[in-house]
Structure 1
Amino acid sequence: MAEGRDKEELKVAEFHKRIKDAFEVFDHELNNTVDVREIGTIVRSLGCCPSEGELHDLLAEVEEEEPTGYIRYEKFLPVMTKVLLEGRYRPIPDDVLLQAFETLDSAKRGFLTKEELIKYMTEEGAGRCSKWRLWWFSWWMMSWTPALQIQQPSPLCWGQLRSFLYHR
């Protein structure tokens, strides 16, 4: 029984270190606070993939009663530790992502071109435009392309997308 408690304590200590490290990246004033707008990035950098609604709920847990626009580390740490211990906001499993990628890669080349991404993210399906696809693609073009160091018109391959999504 003591061994199980020791494992749990080690896990919690590891989570605390990861949370502190991620939080400190955005603590620009070095006062144990971060801008509320950075919380989503911090949570995602810890391997969690909450929906916008789930992120909103998480923010409600960590914000002050009178919102200041900043989140204090002392309030964030216990909430995020609980999230990690419970395994909340898990990412989509690799096999599901790979299946989706392979569905789009109908030629089985192992990559998607910029033009294919534009087509898949902007074409209408079943008589209605999918706004989330438009949002996702514009976010990808602004955020992922520099981080992936893709030189236009280089294709996006599965390995690049997977490693970027999961920071592996």
Structure 2
Amino acid sequence: MDEFWLETQRDKIQQAFALFDKEKKANINAEDAATALRYLGVYPTEAALKADILPDLQGGDESAPVSFDKFEAKVLNMMASREWEPDTEDVLLQAFKTLDENGTGSIDANYMRELLLSKGSPFNEKELESFMAGARDHGGGNVIYYEDYCSRQWTPSREQGR
């Protein structure tokens, strides 16, 4: 691995971990570890998180905290493999367009909620609320204007450092 890349990623991982390590004990809980992964641009499926990643980070004990050392090593490997990178803006836009049967540029938020809770790897309630808070029309409507949502997700800082 490139030494500059490695040091840059280590700094990012340390900063992300510190956001959740409120007691400064170099440990975070599993839910926070999953959130920190996504914050770092690593997006494993819920199935992969539950079956492989979190058990590995917790040493097979579901109640165990995740240590910084284990988290850093695992995240560096995941970043290097690029297996869990997010889809591109174009892929996400196309997925939304597939759901937009009338070509209006919008999707009913209740319909999206139903899909996210029942299809593929279903969202949990916290994930759903987080998504809806960022995606729903902030003008008080019950609509998701997906092109606006996608453009907010892809900022220059998000695409740098990959």
TM-score, length basis structure 1: 0.73
2:65 to 50, 62, 70: 70
Give the structure 1 partner of residue 47 of structure 2: 53
Give the structure 1 partner of residue 16 of structure 2: 22
Deviation at 1:17, TM superposition (A): 0.9
Give the structure 2 partner of residue 153 of structure 1: 141
Q: Is the 8 A contact 1:22 1:46 kept in 2?
A: yes
Deviation at 1:105, TM superposition (A): 2.6
Give the structure 2 partner of residue 87 of structure 1: 82
Deviation at 1:107, TM superposition (A): 3.6
Distance 1:134 1:72 in 2: 27
Aligned-pair Cα RMSD in Å: 3.1
- Specify the structure having the higher radius of gyration (Cα): 1
Give the structure 2 partner of residue 33 of structure 1: 27
Give the structure 2 partner of residue 103 of structure 1: 98
**Structure 1 residues 42 and 15: CA distance shift in structure 2, 3 A:** same
Which 5+ residue runs of structure 2 have no aligned equivalent? none
1:92 partner SS = coil
Could you give the per-residue CA deviations for residues 143-163 of structure 1, whole angstroms, max 9, x where no partner exists?
Answer: 234345824215322244325
Distance 2:127 2:66 in 1: 27
2:7 to 8, 13, 21: 13
Deviation at 1:108, TM superposition (A): 3.1
**Structure 1 residues 15 and 120: CA distance shift in structure 2, 3 A:** closer
Amino acid in structure 2 at the alignment position of 1:20: Q
Amino acid in structure 1 at the alignment position of 2:104: R
Q: Is the 8 A contact 1:27 1:33 kept in 2?
A: yes
1:60 partner SS = helix
1:156 partner SS = strand
% identical aligned pairs? 22
Deviation at 1:38, TM superposition (A): 1.1
